[in-house]
């Protein structure tokens, strides 16, 4: 499977996509979850273009099933820096300010903390969260 991923990674980069997950099914089908590098939603046309480009890169050696990684996918700690202006949900290791999580827009990120802007009733507030207190951070859909 690694040889396939090595071949399609440059193609994904050229399309502005990240490969989030790959899984080999029965040695004849490769499932690929993709996401836009800019965190915009993935549509069916993008999946189709990616599948065609990946197929050409692999010389159609294996079947492909290309789909979105999801609108609310979890983000790895090493990618937090790229989340400025993104709407996220952050779960805490230890409750913080009486809450188990906060949902809002990332204002800034540094090596120690993440600053989130969130709404509490009608007031817009900011909270600084230590990275060590982040149990899980994922993209969220703002309703």
pLDDT of residue 29: 95
Whole-model pTM: value is 0.83
pLDDT of residue 143: 80
Own/partner contacts of 32-35, CB < 8 Å, gap of 24 or more, are: 32/8, 32/64, 32/65, 32/66, 32/67, 33/67, 33/68, 33/69, 33/70, 34/66, 34/67, 34/68, 34/69, 35/68, 35/69, 35/73
The residue from 46, 68, 90 where one domain ends is 68
The CATH number of the domain where 130 resides is what?
2.30.30.180
Long-range contacts of 116-121 (CB under 8 A, 24+ apart): 116/88, 116/90
Q: pLDDT tens digit string along 48-87?
A: 999 999 999 999 999 999 999 998 999 999 999 999 999 9
Helix (H, G, I), strand (E, B) or coil at 69: coil
Please tell me the distance from the alpha carbon of residue 22 to that of residue 27, in angstroms, as a whole number. Answer: 13
The separation between CA 24 and the C-alpha centre of its own chain, rounded to angstroms, equals 21
Percent of all residues in the chain with a pLDDT value above 90, rounded to a whole number: 89
DSSP assignments along 82-106, one per residue: GGTT-EEEEEEEEEETTEEEEEEEE
CB 131 within 8 A of CB 96: no
Asked whether residue 123 carries a pLDDT value surpassing 90, the answer given is yes
- Full domain range(s) for residue 6: 2-68
Alpha-carbon distance of 24 to 1, in angstroms, equals 7
Structure confidence at residue 17 (pLDDT): 97
Instruction: Judge whether residue 125 has pLDDT over 90.
Output: yes
CB 42, CB 69: distance < 8 Å? yes
Residue 10 and residue 28 in one domain: yes
Same domain, 135 and 86: yes
Do 52 and 22 belong to one domain? Answer: yes
What the block records as the tokens of 131 is 């990275």
User: 96 and 133 share a domain?
Assistant: yes
For residue 31, give every residue at least 6 positions away whose Cβ sits within 8 Å of its Cβ, in sequence order, or none. Answer: 21, 22, 23, 24, 25, 65, 67
């Amino acid at each position: 499977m690694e040889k396939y991923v090595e071949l399609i990674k440059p193609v994904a980069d050229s399309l502005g996509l990240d490969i989030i997950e790959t899984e080999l099914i029965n040695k004849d089908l490769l499932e690929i979850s993709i996401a836009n590098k800019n965190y915009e939603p993935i549509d069916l046309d993008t999946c189709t273009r990616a599948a065609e480009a990946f197929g050409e890169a692999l010389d159609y050696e294996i079947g492909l099933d290309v789909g979105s990684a999801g609108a609310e996918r979890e983000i790895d700690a090493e990618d937090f820096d790229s989340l400025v202006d993104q709407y996220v949900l952050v779960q805490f290791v230890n409750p913080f300010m009486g809450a188990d999580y906060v949902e809002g827009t990332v204002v800034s990120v540094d090596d120690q903390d993440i600053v989130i802007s969130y709404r509490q009733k009608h007031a817009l507030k900011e909270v600084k969260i230590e990275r060590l207190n982040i149990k899980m951070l994922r993209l969220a859909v703002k309703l």
